[in-house]
A and B are shown apart, each in its own frame.
Chain A
Amino acid sequence: MRANPEVLILEDDAETLDELQGHFTRKRFHPLGARSAARALSLLEHNRYSSRPVLAIIDWDLGKAPDRSASSGDVLSRLARELRECPVIVYSQNIDAFNVRSQIQRSHPRALLHDKRDGDASLLERIDRMLDRTVGDLRIHDGTVVVHLPTLDQHHHREAIRLVVHHPDIVTFHSDTATKAVRRFGEWLQSHGSAVRLVSHGNRKYRLSVTATEGASLDLDA
């Protein structure tokens, strides 16, 4: 699958939203931009069955949003409930305040936090570090392919990109199609003698591991 992976961006400032969307377009991602939480929820709903964003960038403070009928907390809660495999970066002017952090983490326990006072450039650098990741002998290139560096062979499926972006976290996949794609990626890693291996945690949960040892995965609770 070569469709460009989507990135959800919720930012109430039009200029900053344009800048972020341009950044992702240049990196060959497909940005889903929204200036209000209601619009972001609508984008998630309309994309629910066609695709799932590989990353979400959420502005916590939506004072300039044209529509205040929903909050950034609502978007985070939706992401946590329905798109748990999507990494989320939340940024705020008040990210140091424990009550803000607590509200964010109650909405989305896995959200990564970023200080808005560090500026847009700092946020873009952090995003790039996530998306241009190198994990073992794998590297994401142009947001659309995973490259096995020793051979320069490429794997194009978005679920492979999702696993590399998430490393070392576990990713839950929600369809048979996605799970099959992940298994094919695991076979691809094996056939290339990659230092990275796919680890199954059962119940459609997988993660990548960069270890020399190769072992079985057994469920004691089954």
Chain B
Amino acid sequence: MGDTDAPWMLGVRAPDRSRAILVVTGDGELAVAVRDAVPRGMAVVRDARSDDAAEIARACLPWPWMVVGSDVSVTPGLAAVLRERPVLTLWLGAAPDGLPGHARHFDRPAALLGAVRHACAANVGGMRLAPGSGVELSDGTLLRGATLESLVAAYPGGFALPARTFRAVSEALARHNAGWKAERDGSTRMTLVPSAGVLPP
């Protein structure tokens, strides 16, 4: 039996700046499935329980790229992260209180895992998630920023958050002539949209 007697020192609680998928469940089974769905090197899967999810979320620097959950409540600490940051939020089964408006809900594990794979492989006008962290532009430039990673992975969806959260992304994309900017869509979510004169893919 290899289980550690010191939960406070579990490796899953160690701070890390790599792209992170926080999976919050009662038994860890969904985290095992998510790990199998994620291409190697793309993101670290952190297997959390309801009572340590907020602490593990704080160890995902600057914040978790994605939170996946099932059959657990969302503690106030985790709800605050989801409410204030552009975190892709995928939930299996009945949604608890505390999920943000942009959370996506799934009835079947296969559909949720398909959404995880799709997010990892996102390609928005040549912008793709680089392994581990950052977004690679079509010219090979690596832009390191968690907000841009979230926008690319959520496309064509977005986040119900203030526009100021995305200002630095729009400025960086304009500097690199990426042909995209962050803008509020018809559903009031901030998403990537083509800049003037650029046709969407």
Contact = CB atoms under 8 A, between A and B. Distances in A.
B12 A98 contact: no
Interface string A52-81: 000000001110000000011110111111
Nearest to B144: A219
B169 A220 contact: yes
A109 B44 contact: yes
A102 B14 CA distance: 16
Interface residues of A, number: 46
Contacts, number: 149
A35 to B, nearest CB: 14
A97 B187 CA distance: 43
B27 A218 contact: no
Interface string B23-64: 000011101100100001100111100000000000000100
Given A61-B1, A77-B11, A102 B172 contact: no
Contacts of A109: 11-12, 44-47
Interface in B124-165: 130-134, 136-137, 139-148
Most buried by A among B11, B28, B46: B11
A194 interface: no
15 contacts: A71-B1, A76-B2, A76-B4, A77-B4, A77-B9, A92-B2, A99-B28, A107-B2, A201-B133, A205-B17, A215-B139, A216-B142, A217-B144, A218-B144, A221-B146
B144 A84 contact: no
B81 to A, nearest CB: 16
A interface secondary structure, majority: mixed
B143 A218 contact: yes
Interface of A: 60-62, 71-74, 76-81, 84, 92, 98-99, 101-110, 168-170, 199, 201-203, 205, 207, 211, 213-221
Contact of A102 (B17, B29, B40, B62): B29
Interface of B: 1-6, 9-12, 14, 16-18, 27-29, 31-32, 35, 40-41, 44-47, 62, 130-134, 136-137, 139-148, 168-169, 172
Most buried by B among A103, A215, A220: A220
